[in-house]
Structure 1
Amino acid sequence: MKIASLTQHIIYHDSKPTIQVLMETESGKEIRIAFKKDQIMKKHKTPFPIVVEIFEGQIDFGVNEMVYTLNRGELVALEGGVPHDLTALADSIVRLSLNKADSAQRVEDVADQ
């Protein structure tokens, strides 16, 4: 059994979203992304399907030239290879579920853009 917390030890960087791997299992990775208001993750794509949960706050999620405003408690599933971007409309905590074969470093690299 593994236990992790989305609400403990949260760090917000002034210049970019904060990426933290909370848990790795045999099938996937759970990542917390902490956004300060107005921080972005530029358009990118993942090689594998993902699930994004807005745990706290509000995020504009751009995909296929559309922008969807996602609020606390909402989830979105996205297939691999689909370009998307995120903009924080408020201080936000996002939970990202990745495929085991995907890399947390790839997510950090997107946040650094």
Structure 2
Amino acid sequence: MILASFNDKLYYNDHKIVMDVMLETSFSKEIRIALKKGQIMKEHKAPFPIIVHILTGEITFGTGGKEYDLKQGDIFTLDGKVPHDLTACTDSVVRLTLSKPDTTERVKHVITFSQNQL
């Protein structure tokens, strides 16, 4: 058994998006992304399907030319290779589930790229 809490050691940073790998299993990686209001993850795509769960706050999620206003408790899947972006409408915590073959380094790169483009 592996135990982790998305509430432990949670913090926000006014200058950058905070990403923590909460745990890895034989089939997935669970990531916590803490965004302050207004922080953006620019358009990117994952090589494999992902699951996104809004733990707290509200985000605008863009994909396929549409924007979706998502709130605490919302959860959805997205196929691999689908371009998407997100913006925090309030301070928010997002749970991102990656397929095992995907890398956390890719997510770190997306966050760094997004911040360097501001």
Structure 1 residues not aligned, in runs of 5+:
none
> Which residue of the partner structure matches residue 73 of structure 2?
73
Question: What is the identity, as a one-letter code, of the residue corresponding to 2:100?
Answer: K
Would you say the 8 A contact 1:16–1:40 is kept in 2?
no
- In angstroms, what is the RMSD of aligned CA positions? 0.6
Measured in 1, the distance between the counterparts of 2:23 and 2:65 equals: 32
Structure 2 residues not aligned, in runs of 5+:
114-118
Deviation at 1:83, TM superposition (A): 0.2
- Spell out, residue by residue over 1:35-67, the C-alpha distance to the aligned partner (whole angstroms, 9 max, x if none): 000000000000000000000000000001100
Deviation at 1:16, TM superposition (A): 2.0
Question: What is the identity, as a one-letter code, of the residue corresponding to 1:111?
Answer: I
> Which residue of the partner structure matches residue 116 of structure 2?
none
Q: How does 1:33-52 map to 2 (within 5 A)?
A: 33-52=33-52
Q: Identity, % of aligned pairs?
A: 50
> Which residue of the partner structure matches residue 89 of structure 2?
89
Where do 4+ consecutive residues of structure 1 move more than 3 Å? Answer: none
Deviation at 1:76, TM superposition (A): 1.3
What is the TM-score normalised by the length of structure 2? 0.94
What is the TM-score normalised by the length of structure 1? 0.98
The count of corresponding residues between Structure 1 and Structure 2 is 113
